[in-house]
Amino acid sequence: MSSDFIQSWTEGAVGVIQLNRPKVANALNRQMVQEIVEQAERYDRDQEIRVILVKGSERAFAAGADIREMEGETPIRFELADPFADWDRFTRIHKPMVAAVSGFALGGGFELALHCDLIVAATNARFGFPEVSLGVLPGAGGTQLLTRAVGRKKALEWIWTGKHISAQEALQIGIINKIVEPELVEEEAFRLARTIVKQAPIAVRLIKEAVHQAEDVTLADGMMLERKNFYLAFATKDQKEGMKAFLEKRPPIFKGE
């Protein structure tokens, strides 16, 4: 399927979203963000899909929010249009989201990657928050997501200086999962996605919920949520299948039930 600014298709149980605005390095205008999140939600509801993969082009994952669209904005227009409500919807996607990042992932593009659960990056990937050089700051979660991921010191350094971070540095500090050559980035992201596709889907979903909560709640509350989710997993047929298969020394066949 293709909309104005994205293309989407499925490969097995992987639902792919490709950002497609090549003339402006995949700069994200509001319609494009809406198309991305709506497609992610469609995949999230689709029983056949188990993992969502988001990619850009070799030159750019996304070079941030569309500066041309934003330039003349006013606080009141922002307040009334509430463009960030669409971004909040990413936080409610239950299925794993894997980003395949080549080239620039800047500003809103970096935020989109940070909203994904896993990031596979090409050696040519460049991450950063250049908003400060535009007289503003990240607005789609960057100050919060980056700080949680790398701590206050590095977050302030990167957001204050606006510098581009190499894939190598991003890997060292733990904000991406893997680096590969640009021609292999999609293949590697698919390989990772397919590994997760094989797992029990409801367990995968319960894990995402528990791990995400770890950043927001007290340890005691997080432990309690984990425990409830652990108990809930025992309501699934996949738990029976997984444990039976282990005892019978065969690979499990998970159905997401």
Residue 221 CB, shortest distance to ligand CO8, in Å, is 30
Six-digit token string for 3? 């909309």
Respond yes or no: is residue 187 known to be catalytic.
no
**By C-beta, is 20 or 239 nearer to ligand CO8?**
20
Single out the residue of 60, 75, 152 nearest to residue 106, CA to CA.
Answer: 60
Kindly tell me which of 51 and 122 has the beta carbon lying closer to ligand CO8.
122
**Interatomic CA distance for residues 15 and 6, integer angstroms:** 13
Tokens of 103: 């080239």
Nearer to ligand CO8, 117 or 131 (CB): 131
Compute CA 13 distance to the chain's CA centroid, rounded to the nearest angstrom.
17
For ligand CO8, the binding residues (CB under 6 A) are 24-25, 27, 30, 63-68, 83, 104, 106-108, 130-131, 134, 138-140
Q: What does the alpha-carbon distance between residue 121 and residue 105 come to, in Å, rounded to a whole number?
A: 10
Quote the CA–CA distance of 87 and 71 in Å, as a whole number: 19
Write down the catalytic residue from 15, 56, 103, 108. 108
Residue 38 among the catalytic residues = no
The reply to whether 65 belongs to the active site is: yes
Looking at 131, 155, 170, 200, which residue is catalytic?
131
Shorter beta-carbon distance to ligand CO8: residue 130 or 252: 130
Inter-residue contact 242 to 225 (CB < 8 Å)? no
Distance of closest approach, residue 151 Cβ to ligand CO8, in angstroms: 21
For tokens 């809103």, the residue is 108
Quote the least distance from Cβ 46 to ligand CO8, whole Å: 27
- Is residue 73 annotated as a catalytic residue, yes or no? no
